[in-house]
Amino acid sequence: MKCHVPGANVKVLARTVHALARFGDELYLESLPDCILLRTLNAAESAYAMVKFNKNFFSYFNYNFYSTEDNEGLKCKISMKSALNTFKSPAHIEKQVENLEIKLDPESCKLIFQLKCRHGIVKTHFVSILDCKAMQAVYTKDSVPNRISSPQRILSDALSNFQSSDDQVTLEATSHSLILRNYIDCSIDLTKVIRTQISLKPAEFDSYLIGADTTITFSLKEFRALLTFSEALNLPLQLHFETTGRPAVFIVHNGTTFEAHFVLATTKPDNASQTTATQNTNVERNKRKDTSTLGSAKKKPHLETDISKCLDEDSHLFNFVDMPGENEINLSNKLSGSIIKDNVNGKDRIDLMDCDNIPASPAARTMIKSVFKRCFESTFDPRSIQGAVLAENSDSD
């Protein structure tokens, strides 16, 4: 295979590779007598993309340039990261690249991309071939009952209202409106998430044909990728879908040179997440109202008790505390323990033998300063100590 891509179409090829990179990690290339196909599949096998470049997309095209024996086109699989390295910046390619040559030799293990830039600069990329096989997805787009053709900006502006953390989007199509809402798992507390819903009228689309009311859910990441691709090329987007569980097909094409198919798997949404936003809002508002009323009824007596207690207490920095007197100490020790004479200090030392019988708090009031009485005494004088010196001071030098 050998083909030449003119400079105006190199940018389209570059944007195509960048769009496919958001779907899968591997790129499949297949050359046919009248076109070249690029395909990819995501890791979960829930999103598939195929871009077909017709023969008139190239300034020179020969699918069997190296004359293979079976007279068939060539097939290969390459890494998507390697393809991105070849088309790093579509804007830069548009300004600098004049021509692109793609060559694939069946006897070689490399796919060659040769970029011919301005001022005679030639950049050649040798991409390793991982496998020599093709990939084909099975789906239908012609016999589905629901078909919508939308300008590229309508759906992009609608998705700009969704959160970046949303993983899936639910599309509800009726003959009167098209509703987009973020998918919320029924196991998640609805009071802790943001619900987003956009309603679009049929008059906003180029064509709107709904044969059967349908609600489908699909991945939002790949949906954003194909909308970005459609917007970059300034082309409308076509939606072909039928019932839940059947794949939804999104088509972007210009009619003559290329056509892109993006196929997304659909799942059946939970009933709890399929109620309209108005119903959910009313239910959640009533739920919050009931919860707040019940909570305030429970917490109000406790709150008033705490406030009255705080107001009754002294707010000074040093408060007065209750300290036991001597008579009360003697009385309490008779009940719970014994008084042992301390021969060293000549004072009574309390030895509580029964820890289970704790006396009540005494009623006498003394300033808290008396508790820390020793802290306010004069500095300790070491000369007052009488006795032998065990460790003398060291020499001054």
Domain limits, the chain:
1-137, 140-274, 320-376
Say what the pLDDT of residue 316 is: 37
CATH fit for domain 1-137, picks 3.70.10.10, 3.40.50.720, 1.10.132.20, 3.30.450.20: 3.70.10.10
Say what the pLDDT of residue 368 is: 54
Asked whether this chain's domains 1-137 and 140-274 adopt the same fold, the reply is yes
Say what the pLDDT of residue 374 is: 56
- For 27, 325, 327, 351, the CA distances from 336, given in Å and listed in that order, are 87, 16, 15, 9
CA–CA gap between residue 223 and residue 299 (Å, rounded): 48
CA–CA gap between residue 68 and residue 1 (Å, rounded): 10
Say what the pLDDT of residue 334 is: 45
Max CA separation in the chain (angstroms): 118
The answer regarding whether domain 140-274 maps to CATH 3.70.10.10 reads yes
Please list the helix, strand and coil fractions of the chain in percent, rounded to the nearest 5, in that order. 30, 30, 40
List strands edge to edge, sheet with 110-117: 60-62, 2-6, 97-104, 110-117, 122-128
Segments in the chain below pLDDT 50: 272-283, 285, 287, 289, 291-323, 328-353, 355, 361, 364
The string of pLDDT tens digits covering residues 17-71 is 999 999 999 999 998 889 999 999 998 889 999 999 999 999 999 887 765 555 5
Say what the pLDDT of residue 187 is: 74
C-beta neighbour count of 187 within 10 angstroms: 7
Say what the pLDDT of residue 295 is: 45
Please give the radius of gyration of the chain, using alpha carbons only, rounded to the nearest integer: 41
The dihedral of CA 163, 169, 172, 177: what is its sign?
A: positive
C-beta neighbour count of 272 within 10 angstroms: 13
CA–CA gap between residue 66 and residue 158 (Å, rounded): 49
